[in-house]
Chains A and B, each alone.
Chain A
């Protein structure tokens, strides 16, 4: 059973702070890792994908992947109230043409003005 674990939160940070979201996964041969943001009542939107160990930066967002530790994280710098949402970690395992993702249950982030 492939599992993706996230702290459900809520994670509360003040505006301008760094928000750190964490995710662990059980399938050691997982290949692709994604962070999605989901506002209440809306569908997920892609923030970032990461495939290799290390950091990947895109604007205020940095994804970090450590395959040895089976750990992926998302850092949000200069957090804004508009970043308040549920953040979903998703992992694609091995399996060739099987593109199925396993989602975590999400972490609710609240950025306080």
Chain B
């Protein structure tokens, strides 16, 4: 149980394009999902908290107009990196908390974004 998937697992795009990453809870409903970014040899950095049916809450320093988050259902949240630039190249990881469960965050496998 508590499986979280992400798609795509790896994406390479040109500078200036937009990239959408999907995060799905496969066997549970997730009222809350989180989006993290991790640069090489660094720890996870929380970007935003996504609650189903409401606007995401962004961490300080994260541009909400650049990183668009949509949590349209209890099993799906999407992160769109708009007008991506090489400095956005990173490992993006989502996590989800089961509605009615404990406060444990279950992580997706991550999406490696490379912007050329």
* A residues whose Cβ falls under 8 Å from a Cβ of B: 32, 34, 36, 41-46, 49, 88, 90, 92, 98-101, 103-106
Whether A88 and B103, one on each chain, are in contact in the complex, defined by CB atoms closer than 8 angstroms, is no
Whether A88 and B44, one on each chain, are in contact in the complex, defined by CB atoms closer than 8 angstroms, is yes
Q: Which of A41, A43, A49 contacts B108 (CB 8 A)?
A: A43
Q: How far is the CA of A36 from the CA of B34 in the complex (A)?
A: 16
Instruction: Answer whether A42 and B109 are a contact pair too, CB < 8 Å, given A100-B34, A100-B49, A104-B43.
Output: yes
Q: How far is the CA of A109 from the CA of B54 in the complex (A)?
A: 40
Q: Which of A41, A42, A101, A105 contacts B105 (CB 8 A)?
A: A101
Does B32 reach chain A (CB closer than 8 Å)? yes
* B residues whose Cβ falls under 8 Å from a Cβ of A: 32, 34, 42-44, 46, 49, 91, 93, 97, 102-110
Which residues of chain B are near A101, meaning CB under 8 Å?
46, 105
Which residues of chain B are near A99, meaning CB under 8 Å?
32, 34, 49, 97, 103, 105
Which residues of chain B are near A90, meaning CB under 8 Å?
105
Q: How far is the CA of A49 from the CA of B32 in the complex (A)?
A: 18
Taking the closest CB of chain A, its distance from the CB of B50, in whole angstroms, is 11
Whether A105 and B43, one on each chain, are in contact in the complex, defined by CB atoms closer than 8 angstroms, is yes
Instruction: Answer whether A92 and B103 are a contact pair too, CB < 8 Å, given A100-B34, A103-B44, A105-B43.
Output: yes
**What are 15 A-B residue pairs whose CB atoms fall within 8 Å in the complex?**
A32-B103, A43-B91, A43-B109, A45-B107, A49-B102, A49-B104, A88-B44, A92-B103, A98-B49, A99-B34, A99-B103, A100-B34, A103-B43, A103-B44, A106-B43
Taking the closest CB of chain B, its distance from the CB of A33, in whole angstroms, is 11
Taking the closest CB of chain B, its distance from the CB of A106, in whole angstroms, is 6
Q: How far is the CA of A73 from the CA of B15 in the complex (A)?
A: 43
Taking the closest CB of chain A, its distance from the CB of B8, in whole angstroms, is 14
> Which 3 residue pairs across A and B have the least CB separation, nearest first?
A43-B110, A105-B43, A43-B107
Whether A100 and B46, one on each chain, are in contact in the complex, defined by CB atoms closer than 8 angstroms, is yes
Q: How far is the CA of A6 from the CA of B115 in the complex (A)?
A: 32
Which residues of chain A are near B49, meaning CB under 8 Å?
98-100
